[in-house]
Amino acid sequence: MPMGMGPGRGRGRGRRRKMRMIGFVPEVRHFYPALPPVGQPKPPIFMTYEEFEALRLVDHEGLTQEEAGKRMGVSRGTVWRALSSARKKVAQMLVEGRELIILPQGNEVPKGMTEEKP
């Protein structure tokens, strides 16, 4: 048994995911092609709120990745990874005519929902 892995210590890999601050929960969370697919439909693409928020802040609002990271409460590298993944998913959706569904991961906190400490 590896050192430090005694009873009660095996709680999963790595550390807990940091909470992500998002500006709002998107109202529209499901996009699909107007025309039905020819043949067998491909499975939908799932985008997280984190990926959506990175895409919104950088590509829609025009913030830098550094500024977006500060707004989301994460590093620039985390924003870069989320943005890269979101862009790939949007391109896949458009090129392949697939559904896109935006879902929470459970670690997002809408702006204004954080508890202030006295």
- For the CA atoms of 115, 15, 23, 109, the dihedral, rounded to the nearest 10 degrees, stands at -40
Cα separation, 103 vs 48, whole angstroms: 5
Per-10-residue mean pLDDT of the chain, 118 residues long, equals 50 72 83 83 93 96 97 94 97 94 81 50
Q: What is the pLDDT of residue 85?
A: 97
Does 95 reside within a domain? yes
Cα separation, 71 vs 68, whole angstroms: 5
Does 49 reside within a domain? no
pTM for the predicted model, two decimal places = 0.75
What is the number of domains present in the chain? 1
Q: What is the pLDDT of residue 112?
A: 61
Q: What is the pLDDT of residue 118?
A: 37
Does 11 reside within a domain? no
Q: What is the pLDDT of residue 19?
A: 78
Does 39 reside within a domain? no
Does 74 reside within a domain? yes
Nearest C-alpha neighbor of 86 from the set 118, 46, 41:
46
Does 63 reside within a domain? yes
Does 52 reside within a domain? no
Tokens coding 51: 């990926």
**Domain assignment of residue 74, given as a range:** 57-104
Q: What is the pLDDT of residue 113?
A: 53
